[in-house]
Amino acid sequence: MKRIFFCFALFCSAFISNRSYAQTIQNKSYSTVGYVKSDGTVQNENYSTIGYIKADGAVQNSSYSTIGYIKDDGTIQNSSYSTLGYIKSDGTVQDKNYSTLGYIKNDGTLQNSNYSTIGYAKDVNKKNAAASVFFFFFRLN
């Protein structure tokens, strides 16, 4: 009996800790639209994997096809290396012509160019938040 309990406790612990490493992406009504796990896996609200943000900046869909890149300098590119926009160190998100599309605030608030809140990415680093905005969850323009 102790062994069964231990296995059950271990399973629950692994399940709970796996969920805790996922950072939540929410819309402006605080409804969860997805998650970004610490390993860069992007999941929808039902925990189905919809993509990956790799450590090297490659952004992939659920079939591991590269759909874009987030470069170390903040440049956001599509799969053909054409520049889509930029994420500045202060969280400003710009299109390829340097027009401001929105902002990723330090507290994780996602805003459009009119400073209206469109969602939240609390505790998600700005690079992953930008990839989530551009490729998975929101449209800023």
pLDDT at 6 (0 to 100): 29
pLDDT at 68 (0 to 100): 92
Task: Specify if 75 maps to a domain.
Answer: yes
pLDDT at 38 (0 to 100): 87
Instruction: Flag residues of the chain having pLDDT under 50.
Output: 1-20, 140-141
Task: Specify if 46 maps to a domain.
Answer: yes
* pLDDT, tens digit (0-9, with 9 covering 90-100), for 45-75: 999 999 999 999 999 999 999 999 999 999 9
Task: Specify if 3 maps to a domain.
Answer: no
Number of compact structural domains in the chain? 1
Closest CA to 57 of 122, 135, 131, 121: 131
Q: Which neighbouring-strand residues pair with 37?
A: 22
- Predicted structure pTM score: 0.76
Enclosing domain of residue 78: 22-137
- Rounded Cα–Cα distance for residues 40 and 43 (Å): 10
pLDDT at 138 (0 to 100): 63
